[in-house]
Amino acid sequence: MREKVLKLVVAFEETTNAIEAEQYFQEHEIEGRMIPLPGAISAGCGLAWAAPLKERELIEKQMQEGTIRAEGIYEIFLFEQKKREE
């Protein structure tokens, strides 16, 4: 079953920025995954990083320091697969 969950979405201007950010997030074990850019956001390359809201402060810090080059950061409801209860 799918449910809508409020997520942090980081949009990128260029595909290379998205790929570099994904590598950085994975290397530093920052929760999230690369997704197609949601239709509610109009931004550059069509890729975005979706992460839990708890990662906002860390991601914003990396953007300010220039480690992550992103076009914008948004909070959007996205569908997520609900985990089965055993």
In this predicted model, what pLDDT tens digit does every residue of 14-43 receive, in sequence order? Answer: 999 999 999 999 999 999 999 999 998 987
- φ, ψ at 59 (rounded to 5°): -65, -45
CATH number of the domain within which 54 lies: 3.30.70
Closest CA to 8 of 67, 84, 63, 45: 63
- pLDDT per residue as tens digits for the range 51-75: 999 999 999 999 999 899 999 999 9
Separation CA 73–CA 59 (nearest Å): 9
pLDDT at 30: 95
Q: What is the pTM of this model?
A: 0.89
Domains contained in the chain, number: 1
Q: Does residue 82 form part of some domain? A: no
Q: Answer yes or no: is 21 within a domain.
A: yes
29 falls within a domain: yes
pLDDT at 44: 82
* pLDDT for the residue 43: 74
